[in-house]
Structure 1
């Protein structure tokens, strides 16, 4: 065993009759890490059934690497330097892994926010996200490619479905890649004991946020919270696109991937954010379908009418175009979704116009 002036130790073990040496040092491998505990070696004597614990001298543990004598090896200093030097990026990655495993909720949230900001600021990341959006963000059917969808501007649906959930499948409205961006909003706020303020969130969401308290299943709670977040983003996007931009929506942050999909589906011109009547109606239909999912397909339209700045009468037509039935119970108007879906005929529309 050799020791240099920097108190670094190197040990070489040479078995008898072998041309292989086993070399270990105290300045790389396990021994290079901070020693936060003491080590001992256990020796089990099977014959007598005894276990003897022997302390390790100076608490030194070496990882021995085999080296064949006579073979040319890399310069030791170069190896040590390569192993000990970590780039700033590598250090940051390692710290991120530790934070994800052992950090507090607050630290994990800070890191996620920081990574999200970096992705938005990185041009290469933006290009990558744009490609992903083109590939998986939505399909032609979701954009209303068929005649029925274009005419009614409604989300993807199954007219023959036997349950309301299958009539307007949620996974075709909120795509697989959207959920991870939604959990950082209401769900995270709820976990940390925060309050959903009325000036930052829609009336529909504020009046239903207490539903989360009644849900025992954590997955269902997470799903409903993310659904509330998606509704919020849709409504804020709708307000941001208006000519008289709504003040409460001005500083609302919509995740980049979701915003790009909104622009493609609900905004004709990404620069001016101008929209056609069809695109406005399509957004309203998406919002109403999500409110039906949130209210177990029996919803009072009063709150969402306020959020959309629409009258109950105007909203009634949109619900009917989705195949909903509207009934009054104790002076309260409710929209429900009977299945299989049936839509109002063109003749009925003409009669109402007269």
Structure 2
């Protein structure tokens, strides 16, 4: 055979293998090929499948939507139906395929213009359709089966946990006969519980603050003066020596505690006041200085009465005895006094209540905190326990207190009437 004949035959064979591509047209009422997936059981290749669509209106001319179709087929033993829920999940995941069909006669490959989503087929065994489905186990049955499995195949730790749960389990049926007695005992016990008003009254009594009036409409009446300074001590306080003193230095020397900037500033400002207000504030400042000197003495482990008399020589002995009885405690089998955290807090709130009276119930705590050698935040908490609110003063309030305009940005602890104490904070769960 010549080479020319071989070449010609090869060329004819190559021409027969050439394929043509075309875009398939979607005719009216035609669905075209459908893509399916068999996750579990695959039917024989000879199994016939059909597509079913929902009933459409007679006026609808478009082909049915492929997403609304059902693909179904069957063999002598198994039925196959598309699972709509799983098919929609696959479509939502973006799983789509572009299909093409090749014609062997014309050697033409028709490409379908729209991408298709596979139908996920579920199968049902025909022989099992007549058997009713078993009901879901109850919670008790589930726990019993779980316990049986744990006791049979569990580890030592799991078996010990199962036995512990069985020991702690309460038999409700055994409680049926005694429930009436339990409810009666609960009702009897609830009768002795405190009401809301009783609880509030008990909480107010246990506050580490001076005795107060919850119904007072004037800040001056919330903490009566003689509830802080007993009337006998008030009468025993003498301020005649301050009238004789000529200079501020001489007046400060008459105080029991001379290192308080707040007291010294208020003492100097009393020069411009006259009458009962001056005498009243002088007595309060003298008493505050005695309380500060007493507080300084409480830093020692033991309080000796004679040493306190020497330290507080500027005040009557009745004041020293009162401070010891109210703000100190005696140890067992001992005559010496000692201060506790409760008595120290109580002493500080009494001091701050007197400071509010001198400052017309609006006090800047920075100077007081410096005198007490305490952080401003802790002093503010003590003022809050007295019912004060931390706020900036307005122009009218600054004018009433005689404060300069530069103090507009400074915060003050203000006592308003009626008094409102801070509510206890609830712990987070």
Structure 2 residue aligned with 1:315 = 379
Structure 2 residue aligned with 1:151 = 206
TM-score, normalised to structure 2's length? 0.43
Q: CA deviation at 1:203?
A: 1.9
Maintained 8 Å contact 1:299/1:335: yes
Q: CA deviation at 1:332?
A: 1.9
Aligned ranges for residues 34-113 of structure 1 at < 5 Å?
A: none
Q: How many residues align?
A: 203
Structure 2 residue aligned with 1:324 = 388
Q: CA deviation at 1:260?
A: 1.1
Deviation sequence 1:288-330 (CA, Å, 0-9, x none): 0000001011111122212222110111111111100111464
Q: CA deviation at 1:250?
A: 7.4
Q: CA deviation at 1:258?
A: 1.0
Distance 2:382 2:286 in 1: 22
Maintained 8 Å contact 1:320/1:344: yes
The answer to whether 1:278 aligns with 2:334 is no
Structure 2 residue aligned with 1:299 = 363
Change (3 A) 1:250 1:313: farther
Maintained 8 Å contact 1:159/1:340: yes
Aligned ranges for residues 194-213 of structure 1 at < 5 Å?
A: 194-197=250-253, 200-213=258-271
The answer to whether 1:171 aligns with 2:226 is yes
Q: CA deviation at 1:334?
A: 0.7
Structure 1: runs of 5 or more not aligned: 1-145
The answer to whether 1:188 aligns with 2:241 is yes
Structure 1 residue aligned with 2:46 = none
Maintained 8 Å contact 2:388/2:413: yes
Distance 2:391 2:350 in 1: 21
Change (3 A) 1:244 1:192: same
Q: CA deviation at 1:273?
A: 2.9
The answer to whether 1:339 aligns with 2:417 is yes
Which of 245, 248, 268 is equivalent to 2:329?
268
Distance 1:234 1:176 in 2: 16
Maintained 8 Å contact 1:241/1:273: no
Structure 2: runs of 5 or more not aligned: 1-200, 303-308, 393-406
Maintained 8 Å contact 2:301/2:338: no
Change (3 A) 1:259 1:149: farther
TM-score, normalised to structure 1's length? 0.52
Maintained 8 Å contact 1:201/1:232: no
Larger Cα-atom Rg: 2
Distance 1:169 1:148 in 2: 20
The answer to whether 1:223 aligns with 2:280 is yes
Distance 1:257 1:195 in 2: 22
| SS at 1:325 equivalent | strand
Distance 1:214 1:148 in 2: 42
Distance 1:162 1:191 in 2: 39
Change (3 A) 1:239 1:213: same
| SS at 2:329 equivalent | coil
Maintained 8 Å contact 1:149/1:155: no
Deviation sequence 1:71-122 (CA, Å, 0-9, x none): xxxxxxxxxxxxxxxxxxxxxxxxxxxxxxxxxxxxxxxxxxxxxxxxxxxx
Q: CA deviation at 1:340?
A: 0.3
Maintained 8 Å contact 2:328/2:343: yes
Distance 1:244 1:250 in 2: 18
- Provide the aligned C-alpha RMSD in A: 3.0
